[in-house]
Amino acid sequence: MKDKIDKDRRKQIRNEIRKKALEEFKSSLPMNKENFKRLFDYLDNELKTLGCMDDHTITRRSLNIIGIENTEEILVWLIDHNGYCDCEILANVEEQFEQL
């Protein structure tokens, strides 16, 4: 019986840790979720035709089109979350949003 209680407690702790990490992630977002979705969609479309130039050219263009003013802050945030270039934003950062 003790093993079941320990297992349930470990599961509860893991869930609490995941929930806290998700809340921290949400609170760290430099723009709203809808604008991130627009960015990811734009990157998906543009990368198919242009390919990645190993920089943030397409991301900058997308943020400009959306009307975002804190572009540099967003780029720093994206880099901090493994978005070192346009294709890595789509590959690495977008998947972090699947939990939201």
The string of pLDDT tens digits covering residues 65-80 is 999 999 999 999 999 9
Compute, in degrees rounded to 10, the torsion defined by CA atoms 53, 66, 97, 94: -10
Using alpha carbons, list the distances in angstroms from residue 36 to 1, 12, 41, 97: 47, 31, 9, 9
pTM for the predicted model, two decimal places = 0.85
The string of pLDDT tens digits covering residues 30-87 is 999 999 999 999 999 999 999 999 999 999 999 999 999 999 999 999 999 999 999 9
